[in-house]
Amino acid sequence: MATEVAIMTFVSNAGGHGPGHSAVAVGDIAYTFENVGGGWLQSGSGWLAKNKADYMRANEHRPILLQYLNAKAVPGFIQEYVKKSSDNDDDYVGSGVCSTQVSKAVNYSLPEGVIFDPKGIDTPFGVFHCARRMQLVIREEYTWPGRGKIPVLAWASIVNTLKSDYPGVLDKLDISR
């Protein structure tokens, strides 16, 4: 079986607010551009590589939307981009944020002439919808196992974000508390 590439969209930040987070997975490894210390407080880039299942467990307090990409996205090119970006010491904020770097990694993996470009400022929302708009997604999976462990106001805020920003996802996601 071929190695799968998945865009990982984490809906919301702390307390059910904020834009959320983007990461990209190649097989069992999640590549996440979130190391704020990289480049600011110490040498090193903003990229971290984590076991995908462990990373998802650490983020179960918010919905995780997985978009598995078609064969246009070459897994080895995602990894090559992350390595080059890390070697270049790309740091968080100075080289963009999570969604900026995920967009660049996905773009790097696509054939010449196919441009992955969320419109406007790259956000997790924009990355998610760009993948859909470009018809790169072969399947989507949604999970939110920690929904019953968060305060009710955070839960309600996240549900409202799902309703407004991610049409069709809420209908396929168990939101019971």
Q: Report pLDDT for 22.
A: 98
Tokens for 121, please give them. 């400022």
Residue 128 burial (CB < 10 Å; 0-12/13-18/19+)? buried
The answer to whether 24 touches 31, Cβ cutoff 8 Å, is yes
Residue 28 clears pLDDT 90, i.e. is over it = yes
Average pLDDT, the chain: 91
> How far is Cα of residue 165 from the mean position of the Cα atoms in its chain?
15
- Residue 64: pLDDT over 60: yes
pTM over 0.85: yes
Task: Give the least confident one: 94-98, 101-105, 126-130, 167-171.
Answer: 94-98
Could you give the count of Cα atoms lying within 13 Å of 16 in the half-sphere of its Cβ?
17
Q: How far apart are CA 126 and CA 87, in angstroms?
A: 27
Least Cα distance to 43 among 105, 5, 87 occurs for 87
Of 36-40, 53-57, 98-102, 164-168, the poorest mean pLDDT is in 36-40
Q: Which residues contact 51 (CB under 8 A, 6 or more apart)?
A: 28, 29, 30
